[in-house]
Amino acid sequence: MTIDKSEKRVIMITLALIGLFVFSLLYAKNKYRSDVPECLPYDKAYTVPKVNKLDEKTYQVFSVASMWQFEPSEIYIPVGSEVDFYLTSKDVVHGFNIAQKNVNMMAVYGAINKTTVKFDKPGVYDIICHEYCGIGHQNMRAQVIVNYPEAK
């Protein structure tokens, strides 16, 4: 059985396009250092929002989304810190987006998502809800405020 010349050409073009697509995905993943959030087993004890300081440069933020707020609404950390964000919801599905850091997670009732982010530059990083969660959705915001550590 022989393959027609035009069929060979179509097969080669298709394989080249698939290769280009796979290369583009790998390139974008490495360039933007995108990280897929982890899903952790749900723990009913995790309903209180808090910020834990593990050491001078490592923090854990336990964020709880609810109609129409993120708690804690302001998170203060020093420049160069690495933050583990743990996220859940008290009610409906909410989005959790830090555009400047390429963070995009979903807050789902009964589930906990986790991602780690490094904040190398000072500034205010806005957290917004990108999933329509009701009439007050547009006001659902929080901030990560990254400062230089105070001189001692």
Q: What is the pLDDT of residue 137?
A: 85
- Across the chain, mean pLDDT equals 87
3-state secondary structure of 127: strand
Q: Per residue in 80-136, pLDDT tens?
A: 999 999 999 988 899 999 988 989 999 988 888 899 999 999 999 999 999 888 888
Q: Which residue has the tokens 């080669």?
A: 12
Q: What is the pLDDT of residue 42?
A: 63
Rg (CA), the chain: 21
Q: What is the pLDDT of residue 111?
A: 86
Domains of the chain, residue spans:
1-31, 38-147
Question: Is residue 71 very low, low, confident or very high in pLDDT (cuts 50, 70, 90)?
Answer: very high
Q: What is the pLDDT of residue 34?
A: 58
Query: Does 151 have pLDDT greater than 60?
Result: no
DSSP 54-113: EETTEEEEEEEEETTEEESSEEEEETTEEEEEEEEESSS-EEEEEGGGTEEEEE-BT-EE
Q: Per residue in 11-66, pLDDT tens?
A: 999 999 999 999 988 887 777 665 666 666 666 657 789 999 999 899 999 999 98
- The CATH H-level superfamily of 38-147 is Cupredoxins -  blue copper proteins (2.60.40.420)
Pairing relation of β-strands 94-98 and 81-89?
Answer: unpaired
Q: Per residue in 121-135, pLDDT tens?
A: 999 999 999 988 888
